[in-house]
Amino acid sequence: MINEISFEAVARMTELCPPAGVYKDMPAAQYHAIDALNNSTLAEFCKSGMHGREYLRGITKPSAAMLFGSAFHSALLEPNDFAMRMHIDETIGPAAEVRHANVQAEYPDAIILRNGWIEIIEQIASNIGEHTAATHLMQEVDGKNELTMIWTIDRVIDGKTVSVPCKARADRFIPAFVPIAGMGEVSCLVDLKTTRDASPHAFEHSIASLGYHRQAAWYLTGAIACGLMDDFHDFSYIIIACEKSSPNIVATYPIAAAALQQGMGELKSGLAAYIKYRLHGHAPMPSDVLMPLAIPNWAMNPHNEVGE
């Protein structure tokens, strides 16, 4: 029977998972408090059970890049809320983690902006407005921002079915648009990403190294489970990549269906590790054996000669 096996509670996720479905106006704080598997948790369990355990315990602290990304998302996707909550503190420098934490403690409900952040956000927003595809994606009238998706994944463990509550908060969902001339209407999820380098070659490596294809597969799994979409396709998940440094280049990259399928395969190991930890507290390290490593194929120089 489903739910015959239950998970141990996670202290920092205090809200029971609501029924499966799409929630349009759920506050971010409520979403983060829901005890359900999300992409960030899954990404840590894909590294190892130990990484996942530390993440669920709340031991990890947000980096400057994560804090900026959160502020950036709020500015572009929830501008009214951002305008009410933003708090600019020019005394917080690029690496002032302690100062940032102290200011956040003083203004717990505010979106804290470090010195120079608001100018970067405004420039990126302006560049998005000058980018044809990005503008189309962000201004599609039927698009919905910050959709919360709730669903379950069932797995059989020791002959019993475990129903795993899952969640995702999509930056933007577009029910129908035409991605290229001559193609019919499709639905898609849009994901805003900040990056150091939005060029195709560099961002391709970012997709692989940061697991954006896996995140895309996770979000699309939720969208399909919630009835928003039917299946993966080459335009079902589109990233708007925005450079954080001047001139703040913007690029749009659909993740190909083949990469989405690769992401689906990678999700399985993380899901299995997550279930083991939630059921039994099993959190191993990535490996405890000798493991020879080579460098990846793209880093190999075919012109090198051995012995020179």
Phi then psi dihedrals of residue 305, to 5 deg: -120, 135
Q: How many angstroms from the chain centroid is the CA of residue 268?
A: 17
pLDDT of 2: 39
- Give residue 268's pLDDT: 92
Write out the two tokens for 218: 């996770």
Q: What is the pLDDT of residue 85?
A: 96
Residues in the chain where the model's pLDDT stays below 50 = 1-4
Residue 89 vs residues 74, 112, 118, 193: alpha-carbon distances, Å: 17, 7, 10, 24
pLDDT at position 97 is 87
Delineate the domains of the chain, giving CATH numbers in brackets: 21-58+131-280 (3.90.320.10)
Distance of alpha carbon 34 from alpha carbon 167, whole angstroms? 8
Predicted model pTM: 0.88
- Angstrom distances, CA of residue 293 to CA of 290, 296: 10, 9
